[in-house]
Structure 1
Amino acid sequence: MPQYLFVYHGGTTPTDPAEIEATMAAWGAWFQNMGPALEIPGNPVGQSHTVSADGVADNGGSNPASGFTVIKADSIEAATEMAKGCPMVVNGSGSVEVAEIHEIEM
């Protein structure tokens, strides 16, 4: 079954203990709902740096990543359907970029 990368953009980092607990519960429920499709829960990420032939930019680019997850699904359509349940999508604070992971044998 193909794997898909979820790259999170946006979102907020809660600071209030009750908000932290609610946020963690929402993510936990979403992950649990995906069941065995969840391959790598992933993590939030820090400020990204963009490396190109022109050098290194430490501004994260136009749409910096805020985290990632790896899931497995039968199709890109099934994967994007799962992504719709992401807490950041549900509460309107961010988005999820979905891409199929292509295996390359070396």
Structure 2
Amino acid sequence: MNTYLLVYRGAVQPENGQQHMADWMAWVKDLGDAMVDPGIPVLPSKTITASGISDTRSDNPISGISIIKAVDLEAAMALIRPCPHLRIGGGIEVAEAMNLPMA
């Protein structure tokens, strides 16, 4: 099994936030052991670069993260497709974690 980072992007808080949260929690539960860490939602961010800190807001801001396990990227995407975040206009960026040897 491989580990994947999910980065939730965009989307505004839906009118019925409690229902959205209930739908999201049901999706998390349906993933079972594939959901390693449901993660956390995040507030607006700032970008830090070598030249300083940018207050520029992104058109596609990060709104949270999760970690899942799947056999491959296609399987990870299949697990993600039913996520309620997608139904409210958000997107989910998915990236496989690299297995680096620890020194």
Asked if these proteins are the same fold (TM beyond 0.5), I'd say yes
Unmatched segments (≥5 aa) in structure 2 = none
Aligned length: 102
Give the drift of 1:101.
Answer: 0.8
Distance in 2 (CA, whole Å) between partners of 1:86 and 1:54 is: 37
- SS of 1:85's equivalent in the other structure is coil
Distance in 1 (CA, whole Å) between partners of 2:95 and 2:46 is: 20
Aligned-residue CA RMSD in angstroms?
Answer: 1.6
- Picking from 40, 44, 48, the partner of 2:45 is 48
> 1:102 matched to which residue of 2?
98
Name the % identity. Answer: 39
Distance in 2 (CA, whole Å) between partners of 1:60 and 1:36 is: 35
CA contact (8 A) 2:4 2:97 kept: yes
Structure 2 residue 21 is matched with structure 1 residue 24 = yes
Unmatched segments (≥5 aa) in structure 1 = none
